[in-house]
A and B are shown apart, each in its own frame.
Chain A
Amino acid sequence: MDAITAILVSGINSAIGPTAAIYALAALGLNVHYGYTGLLNFGQVGFMLLGAYGMAITVSIYEQPLWVGVLAGFAASIALALALGAPTLRLRADYLAISTIAAAEILRFVFRSAPATPFTGGPFGIPSQVGGSGFTGTWNALNPFPPGRYNLGFLSFTHTRLWTTLVGWALVLLVVALVWALMRSPWGRVLKSIREDEDAARALGKNVFAYKMQALILGGMLGGLSGMLLALGQAAIAPDQFLPQVTFFAYTILIMGGAATVWGPVVGAALFWFLLSSVERGLIITDMMPSGTIGPTRLAFVGLLLVLLMAFRPQGLLGNKQEMMLDA
């Protein structure tokens, strides 16, 4: 019984933790891209990287206040959306998919390269020996919780983790409200019509390119926000955190929760991290395998669950099956 409790506690701890909130934000952005507009962005992690580094470099290297850093993070995400969208959004959907995944990887390699080291800290990231003093000064000063440990029932938080968690989920709620308001509006209706058939939208007088660009920018900014929260929560960033798999985790979350649903990415993120952590804890407790193989095994297990979900509930947890089957 103790083992099961430990597994559940570990799972819940992750499901409500800051990482789940960070992934929920990234997946909410992907939902605007893929779920509502039909844009295949396979480089969401690139937007996260630019958000995180845009903020961190501005604050730690150029010693600007945090709010300037946040603006810089958003500006960097918008710039990436414009750079990716301008040449590809007039073309078929697959061009965007290819460019985004390539751009995200190029960014990671550029940020870890030697010439970039004075700004990015190279492979070691920020803060580092060559980088500035760090970027969490204001963030920590804003934390209303005095240092210490906080116990909520069977869960336990440090004061920094509690702060990141609260801000993270508050941002998630705000973004959910924004996405809900946008998608019930005529603007959201145009996005959905583009997803269904962009020529039909064009024939009805909608400037499809402009709407796609707006969607790409909005979803990219949510990716940037997610990256900033990631950086602040762990007080450090390194380029190799921004591997392509982060995008694929976000897609897994979106599809598990239900694409084109308002709450899908949030439910998906909590479930995804619950599964990852509880499976990991279960494998540790039962001592079935050497510790080095636990990481890959838990991912394989989540992969298996995803396959089963796709077989039995392809619309995701919150999706509408009837709608899903209408793919014409």
Chain B
Amino acid sequence: MREPSPGAAALADVEPVPGVAKPDPILIVDHVRRTFGGLVAVDVEHLELPRGAITSLIGPNGAGKTTFFNLMTGFDVADEGAGTFDGHELRKIPAHKVSNYGMVRTFQLTKALTRLTVMENMKLGAREQRGERLLLAPWAPLWQEQEQEIEARAEELLVRFKMDHMRDEMAGTLSGGQRKLLEMARALMVEPIMVMLDEPMAGVNPALTQSLLEHVKDLPHMGMSVLFVEHDMDVVMDISDWVVVMAEGRIIAEGPPEVVARNEEVIDAYIGKGHGDESRFTPVPLGAAAVADTAVREEAPPESDEGAGELASGGPDDGSGGAASDAQEGPS
């Protein structure tokens, strides 16, 4: 059983209904709508994300999770509405400014900068570098001291992520899982107050998944809030303090993991009940994957096991496990 996130206690009394207000939210979203032609990709009335806690964003493929990420981080502009991050208005703010406010994202398709070394990747993350100004750049003495501080900090993070032996390797030579680790470590170089992780575990082998999870769990204890998209329900149940469920662009449920897992609407969204066409939504391995990956299960709190079990029993019995593991690898 892990130590609960600092922000988790405040969530105990929050009613698990969509759009509920939270004590001291870090990100507040209001009336955000984004359409692509006729398709409403995101249509969120109101959402508040807790500070100092890990929030999972789940939902079937095509629910709008990544679009929501893009809208919040300035990589896409909403047709209307926006959010407020830690007091900063987010409407039409470009991505680099959002990052400088302290909200840093990673990408579903990892973006390791392949022809830079691991160390260069890390150092790039540091903010407000004097040497990044064109007129100061040619004169090394003006930025060397700061560069050394940055390098020391990067070295520390690399040790924590057990990547220090690769510091001078080109990032392009790393494996997929190592790239995910590097991307997360690089995001921490920015010294963010909120980390947005878009499927950090996708395509990573189980051993590395554990290591990645441990790092994510540490983030709230280091003063960061986390929002992450994940398809693996065991992971979600294991590490989240709060779960937000999206389907067809809208928030259909939110609450503590064990409550969300029992929510009828969530189960409907995943298996497509009431739409008469199950192929519209790809089922996700709710309880099914728990059997396959015992390592995660051991870490999971008992309530979440129960919740995951209930979800699984709500799903179709016929071979959902097979279809689910395919879906897990697909983009959302």
Contacts and interface: CB of A to CB of B under 8 A. Distances in A.
Interface stretch (B40-48, B92-100, B215-223): B92-100
Contacts of B124: 189-190, 193, 201, 204, 206
Interface residues of B, number: 44
A185 B150 CA distance: 13
Nearest to A325: B172
Given A186-B137, A207-B96, A200 B107 contact: yes
Given A205-B100, A328-B172, A197 B113 contact: yes
Interface string A178-193: 1001101111111011
A38 B210 CA distance: 37
A326 B173 contact: yes
B319 to A, nearest CB: 36
A12 interface: no
Given A186-B147, A204-B125, A204-B190, A178 B116 contact: no
B170 A326 contact: yes
A189 B120 contact: yes
Contacts of B116: 189, 192-193, 196
A207 B128 CA distance: 12
A202 B170 contact: no
A273 to B, nearest CB: 29
B113 A200 contact: yes
B161 interface: no
Nearest to B147: A186
Given A187-B133, A192-B115, A203-B106, A323 B170 contact: yes
A202 B134 contact: no
Contact of A204 (B75, B97, B186): B186
Given A185-B143, A193-B116, A326-B172, A202 B95 contact: yes
Interface string B88-127: 0000001111011000111100011111100010011101
B17 to A, nearest CB: 32
Contacts of B125: 204
A287 interface: no
B132 interface: yes
A186 B127 contact: no
A39 to B, nearest CB: 15
Contacts of A218: 134
B140 interface: yes
Contacts of B106: 203
A196 B138 contact: no
Contacts of B172: 326-328
A262 to B, nearest CB: 13
Nearest to A190: B132
Interface residues of A, number: 32
Contacts of A186: 123, 129-132, 137, 143, 147
Contacts of A207: 94, 96
Contact of B75 (A181, A192, A202): A202
A322 interface: yes
A214 interface: yes
A225 interface: no
A178 B137 CA distance: 10
A208 interface: yes
A187 B146 CA distance: 13
Nearest to B99: A205
A184 B137 CA distance: 9
B178 interface: no
Interface string B62-103: 000000000001110000000000000000001111011000
Contacts of B100: 205
Nearest to B73: A203
A205 B187 CA distance: 10
Interface string A34-48: 000000000000000
A189 B123 contact: yes
Interface string A201-226: 11111111000001000100000000
Contacts of A208: 96
Contacts of A190: 124, 132
A199 interface: yes
B170 A181 contact: no
A187 to B, nearest CB: 4
A206 B100 CA distance: 9
Residue with the highest number of chain A CB atoms closer than 10 Å, among B73, B130, B131, B187? B131
A182 B96 contact: no
A200 B104 CA distance: 10
A322 to B, nearest CB: 7
Contacts of B112: 328
Interface string A48-87: 0000000000000000000000000000000000000000
Nearest to B130: A186
A206 B113 CA distance: 14
A196 B127 contact: no
A185 B131 contact: yes
A187 B134 CA distance: 6
Contacts of A181: 137-140
Contacts of B94: 202, 207
16 contacts: A182-B134, A185-B143, A186-B132, A186-B137, A189-B132, A192-B120, A193-B116, A196-B116, A200-B111, A201-B96, A202-B94, A203-B99, A204-B99, A204-B124, A204-B125, A323-B115
Interface of A: 178, 181-182, 184-190, 192-193, 195-197, 199-208, 214, 218, 322-323, 326-328
Q: State the 9 A-B residue pairs at the shortest beta-carbon distance, nearest first.
A: A326-B172, A186-B131, A187-B137, A205-B99, A185-B137, A200-B111, A196-B113, A181-B138, A202-B95
Given A187-B132, A200-B113, 6 more contacts: A184-B140, A185-B143, A188-B137, A196-B116, A199-B107, A206-B132
